[in-house]
Amino acid sequence: MMNPMSKALLSAWLAVSCIAAHGQEYPSKPIRIIVPFAAGGPADIYARFIGQRLQDSLGQSVVVDNRPGAGAIIGTDAVAKSPADGYTLLMMSNTHTVNESLIPNKPYQLMRDFVPVAPINYSDLVLVVHPSVPANNLAELLQLAKAKPKELNYASSGNGTPYHMAGELFKAMAGVDIVHVPYKGSSGARTDVLGGQVHMMFDAVPTMSDHVRSGKVKAFGTTGEKRSAVLPHVPTMAEAGVPGYDAVIWLGIMAPKNTPRAIVMLLNDRLAKAFQAPELQQRFRELGFDIIASSPEELGAHLKKESAKWAKVIKERGMKVE
């Protein structure tokens, strides 16, 4: 993931000075954060968290506008077509970097039509397996999958979602052939894994941790570079047998292309300061997310790296959206 940035006090001061020098008073009206995902999901929850903090620090209302549909394309395109004045922002996720290759004929391109503002947070996934599967750890699961290609399956919340891409990355790196079973959301996928209708899935650590502790599923690995604080007894996928594996959920804020640099830096600074609040850090930890604070440039570099990573997986797996 991205490295934390140092305190950018000088940049923030210059941003405010630049806005004032041009006779602008930003913000002078409500700011809208468009979330291209359904209400109640991680992107929606954290958009409301940061929206309230921006509202407090900027002195203007911040409205969260959910525009789900078409694999996040509908809401994202609405932001791309909005004025580049800092009043319309995009809550984006790693789904956007997947879509760059999975859905090439979108009406926008991420790095062409947007500018990075700030990363928000990230969370590990966990590979969970129903107890009926005759394997007690990742090594035994890999042995079983290689002995019985196409006989095991995994659920996801839909094509191109982090849960799906984590599974495809696992298949590619581990050299196994496991059948993908897409659902229209994570709830249905989770229910069927818990019920044994599907063998396994990659799911968010905060959502699945209680089921792991109760023994309803077996946890074989978490997907980050280090062990999860929520499930510290579960090894990482790399530790358990897939070296180099890394696939997490992460969120960030972007704005339409040509949004003034001064506004981008002001928003970045206010978000970084908000993340320093102990109560916000505690709340994020309780939900199993780690805060990220870094510059727009670091977020931009991360977006390029992630887009290239998933483009390679998509090409190797021959993945297409039907």
Amino acid present at 25: E
Count of domains in the chain? 2
CATH number of the domain within which 28 lies: 3.40.190.150
Domain range for residue 269?
9-122+250-317
Among 207, 240, 273, give the residue marking a domain's end: 240
Report which of 127, 180, 170, 128 is spatially closest to residue 150, judged by C-alpha positions.
Answer: 180
Q: pLDDT, tens digit, for every residue of 8-39?
A: 444 444 444 445 444 468 999 999 999 998 88
Average pLDDT, the chain: 89
- 20 CB-near residues (< 8 Å, 6+ apart): none
Same domain, 137 and 117: no
Per-residue confidence (pLDDT) for residue 1, from 0 to 100: 47
Same domain, 201 and 144: yes
Q: pLDDT, tens digit, for every residue of 260-301?
A: 999 999 999 999 998 888 887 887 777 777 888 889 999 999
Same domain, 158 and 215: yes
Per-residue confidence (pLDDT) for residue 150, from 0 to 100: 97
Same domain, 235 and 130: yes
pTM of the model: 0.82
Nearest-10 Cα torsion for 216, 193, 189, 127:
80
Name the DSSP class of 5. Answer: P
Q: pLDDT, tens digit, for every residue of 185-229?
A: 788 999 999 999 999 999 988 889 999 999 999 999 999 999 998
Rounded alpha-carbon distances, angstroms, from residue 212 to 48, 154, 172, 204, 233: 29, 17, 25, 12, 11
Answer whether residue 312 is part of any domain: yes
Rounded alpha-carbon distances, angstroms, from residue 66 to 1, 40, 98: 27, 10, 20
Same domain, 112 and 161: no
Same domain, 255 and 236: no
* Residues pairing with 290 in the sheet: 122
CATH number of the domain within which 197 lies: 3.40.190.10
- 137 CB-near residues (< 8 Å, 6+ apart): 220, 240
SS3 224: coil
Answer whether residue 1 is part of any domain: no
Same domain, 116 and 137: no
Percent of the chain whose predicted confidence (pLDDT) is above 90:
70
